[in-house]
A and B are shown apart, each in its own frame.
Chain A
Amino acid sequence: MADLSVDFAGIRSPNPFWLASAPPTNTGYQVQRAFEAGWGGAVWKTLGNPVINTTARFAGLHLGAQRVAGFNNIELISDRPVEANLREIYETKKRFPNHALIVSLMVDPKREAWHEIVKRAEAAGADGLELNFGCPHGMAERGMGSASGQVPALVEAQTGWVKEAARTPVIVKLTPNITDITSTAVAAVQGGADAISLINTINSLMGVDLDSWNTIPHVAGKGAHGGYCGPAVKPIALNMVAECARHPEVNVPISGIGGVSTWKDAAEFMLMGAAGVQVCTAAMHHGFRIVEDMIDGLNNYLDEKRIARVSELVGRSVGKYTNWGDLDLSYRIVARIDNETCINCNKCHIACEDTSHQCIERHADEEGQPFLTVREEDCVGCNLCSIVCPVDGVISMVELPSEAESMTWNERQTALALLAKDREEPSAKEVAQP
């Protein structure tokens, strides 16, 4: 049994699975149910001046038979009185002293406002604070949420104000609705953040109803952009986490958020530098009980890999994430098709033929049985065939012995520049000679 406990910027948690600040953490009832189900921590739904929420708030992206491949919402921060939230935070912390209870905060970008809310949250027993600089809808129109989170100077200043008052660790939650997330991550660190969490939701419009031509969702016939999350955003979130993790100036713990649905997703985020993860959509899709397999699966994985503590996973893949210019151009893989297990759907053939490099040929043996072959000399090792193949293990991408020395684009450009310089120098001498 591996040790799943984490110490996230000084916040202790029995496991790395936290509920993100969102509808699942709206009340003490819900957060306590979550802790009973096994969640290690929860980030309470954002406190601030109470808002009025609309009806019709959520929409799901269904891909074929798969429901909720993506999810969006136009719900704002807590619409309950701050006092009620604080009272329930206090009760929850009292009942679950060993669980991590973080309180998400969002107020007007004013020093006094931040000081006041920080003090109240901490007085209620918060183990840490998360600054919501990410909410992309509604609150941003009022200068809060992502409107603050998109401006590095505002992130830095407000983080600084919070730090003036805070006694518990301060986590800054970042918006992905920005060109380079490391710029706001660095600003948060410069403002004194103890940790960052990312990503918040991505600006989105889920769809248009083809009968009414209304937006999905709509509020009395009108819609506004929402925040997109769920399994579909995981690759976007994972990249942003990794970019922060490998940035030399982002030297604080990262809480990974964005499409985490299973223990595998969590392990990937941790390998890419997250010290813990936050989950929302998967819980909204299936209920709190999904955490049981998250814990069990992660534990079994660690045992199988003979890793004693989950914290040992953190950041192990960050060094493998680099710039394109540092990739080895001499590395070569090609597709191999196992005709024993191939079911002859020809999807690899048509994908390669129409949209890649035309190197998968169709043949038939003497008995007319179809089979496929890869013309390896024309295969660029793009992976497309193995991606579209419906049967695992039929197409493998096989490494070929390299024909050339390892060479990256950057090394190549450096070498070419040196070569050019060598050529220029003698000619300069020639010119110098009369």
Chain B
Amino acid sequence: MNDMLSRNFAEVHSGLTPTEAMDESNRCLFCYDAPCIKACPTGIDIPSFIRKIATGNLKGSARVIMEANPVGATCSRVCPTEQLCEGACVLNDASKPILIGMLQRYATDAAIRSGERLFAPGPGNGLKVAVIGSGPAGLSAARELARFGYAVTIYEAKEKPGGLDTYGIVSFRLPQDVSLWEADQLRTMGVEIRTGVRVGVDLPPEKLLAEHDAVVLAVGMGRVPALGIQGEQLKGVYDAIELIESTKTGIYAGDLDGARVVVIGAGNTAIDAATCAVRLGAENVKIAYRRTRSEMTAYDFEYRFAKEEGVEFRWLTAPKRIIGDESGKVTHLECVRMKLFPEAGKDGRAVPVPIEGSEFRMEVDAVIKAIGQTRLTGLIESYGLEHERGVVSIDPATYRTSHPKIYAAGDVVFGQGCGEATVVSAAQQGKLAAYAIHRELNQQSAETA
């Protein structure tokens, strides 16, 4: 099984060759006040890192990237670059945009291979910060705080650090060693990453709060919620997040070989689950989505990738119930056709409504749920933080929650139509939370001094 996983889940795109990197980096115009920098949520000085590739200064290039974005190696692989940096490249108007993501990967891959520490921690300032969660937001906040001289401890529930990057994005787009290297960079700076510690289970939340000068809540989100339809407990019904995680950790024990699969949902995780199923040997994979292509949240490049992988799309199709045989195994998925109401709903998207009498059945062997993620409301409430249906309320300028010592960043503050659920925006939020903590604690120490 592990052989199959390492073979079928090897990274799809190989990186640039040295010659390609030299050609491409020399094509960059080195714009002044470049629009690509403004289009990057973390503000990487893109012309600078590309010029350093062209001059053969790969370490300097990786430093420029990682300085602005502590998860810059991951982002080089998962960012929607067409909509961000590459979309803003001035060469869109002259020839074709620079392959910024691929160059970013080239420089960070070299840093991963060298294994060198890129940043030194600041001189210790005697203050302690706890970061809960080691996904992009948590790593990013911790890295910046370590550079300011804080003693930072990250508490991670899973066995390995990296959060979604390590467990939730398919290996053929993002191998684990990339996000693990980003976490290792923090360890070399003296950041302690305590894995396998569930705050609220293994460690009382109030203890953490009492022992630190500030806490960054960067716990992300949970599992895929229930569809709320009949048959969800049947054998052959998968949670997309769990499925992807099982392929990344090598514990996959499902039975998708030769299966007819329907994925419910059309976000990036749905695409990941669908392409994952293809690689696990599924005979046919369909994505069923209750809206249309224009409303789906998956990136264009993800959609194109899924099509290339042979995934079929069924628009305006919602699941109604999952039907199983006497052994409890999935045999059919009953769906209903939808139509869209032109008026936009609360989140700005058209509202789908079922067409009466349009029910139909598909013969399936597996159903993968990918309709979003649950909120970790329990932990949020254990700190008594204000939230709206699991989305922690923050001051948008400082990422400070209703508790003065607790800041929050990443998916835990994403939702209700505000912000972006991207790795890159989580990284930026982590940075901003760290800066706010530093401002606040600096001010406090100045006042007490």
Contact = CB atoms under 8 A, between A and B. Distances in A.
Interface in A23-60: none
B54 A345 contact: no
B384 to A, nearest CB: 43
A346 B31 CA distance: 6
Contacts of A350: 32-33
Contacts, number: 35
Interface in B8-25: 22-23
Contacts of A346: 31-34
* Prevailing SS type, chain B contact patch: helix
Nearest to A390: B29
B355 interface: no
A65 B33 CA distance: 24
Interface in B27-47: 27, 29-35
Contacts of B23: 65
B31 A64 contact: no
Given A64-B54, A65-B23, A343 B94 contact: yes
Contacts of A362: 33
B93 interface: yes
Contacts of B91: 343
* Prevailing SS type, chain A contact patch: loop
Given A64-B26, A65-B22, A65-B26, A391 B32 contact: no
A343 B32 contact: no
B382 to A, nearest CB: 45
Interface in A386-407: 390-391
Interface string B41-80: 0000000000000100000000000000000000000000
A350 B29 CA distance: 13
Contacts of B22: 64-65
A347 interface: yes
A344 B33 CA distance: 10
B32 A345 contact: yes
A173 interface: no
B35 A344 contact: yes
Contacts of B35: 344
A347 B26 contact: no
A386 to B, nearest CB: 15
Most buried by A among B22, B32, B34: B32
Contacts of A246: none
B29 A345 contact: yes
A65 B94 CA distance: 19
Q: How large is the interface on A (under 10, 10 to 19, 20 to 34, 35 or more residues)?
A: 10 to 19
A347 B35 CA distance: 13
B31 A347 contact: yes
A210 to B, nearest CB: 9
B90 interface: yes
A343 B54 contact: no
A347 B30 contact: yes
A349 interface: yes
A292 B311 CA distance: 51
Contacts of B90: 343-345
Nearest to B27: A65
Contact of B94 (A64, A66, A347, A391): A391
Contact of A343 (B27, B30, B93): B93
Interface residues of B, number: 16
Nearest to B24: A65
A345 B26 contact: no
A114 to B, nearest CB: 49
B45 to A, nearest CB: 15
Nearest to A349: B32
Contacts of B93: 343
Interface string A334-353: 00000000011111011000
Contacts of A347: 29-32
A64 B56 CA distance: 10
Interface string B79-95: 00000000000110110
B353 to A, nearest CB: 37
B425 to A, nearest CB: 22
Nearest to A392: B94
Contacts of A65: 22-23, 26-27
Nearest to A66: B26
A390 B32 CA distance: 13
A284 B33 CA distance: 41
A252 B179 CA distance: 72
Nearest to A353: B32
A64 B93 CA distance: 23
Nearest to B92: A343
Nearest to A362: B33
Nearest to B31: A345
A176 B86 CA distance: 47
Interface string B90-121: 11011000000000000000000000000000
B56 to A, nearest CB: 9
A346 B33 CA distance: 7
Interface string B207-223: 00000000000000000
Nearest to B35: A344
A343 B32 CA distance: 12
A350 B22 CA distance: 25
Nearest to A389: B29
Nearest to B93: A343
Nearest to A388: B29
Contacts of A345: 29, 31-32, 34, 90
A107 B354 CA distance: 98
B43 to A, nearest CB: 17
Nearest to B56: A210
Interface in A182-235: none
Interface in A351-398: 362, 390-391
A64 B28 CA distance: 11
A346 B34 CA distance: 8
Nearest to A348: B32
B100 to A, nearest CB: 15
A358 to B, nearest CB: 14
Contacts of B32: 345-347, 349-350
A211 B50 CA distance: 23
A346 B27 CA distance: 16
Contacts of B29: 345, 347, 390
A218 B35 CA distance: 45
Contacts of A390: 29, 94
A345 B91 CA distance: 9
Nearest to A344: B90
Given A343-B90, A345-B34, A345-B90, 17 more contacts: A64-B26, A64-B54, A65-B23, A65-B27, A66-B26, A343-B94, A344-B35, A344-B90, A345-B29, A345-B31, A346-B31, A346-B32, A347-B29, A347-B30, A347-B32, A350-B33, A390-B29
Closest 3 CB pairs of A and B: A64-B26, A350-B32, A346-B32
11 contacts: A66-B26, A343-B90, A344-B35, A345-B31, A345-B32, A346-B32, A347-B30, A347-B32, A350-B32, A350-B33, A362-B33
Interface of A: 64-66, 343-347, 349-350, 362, 390-391
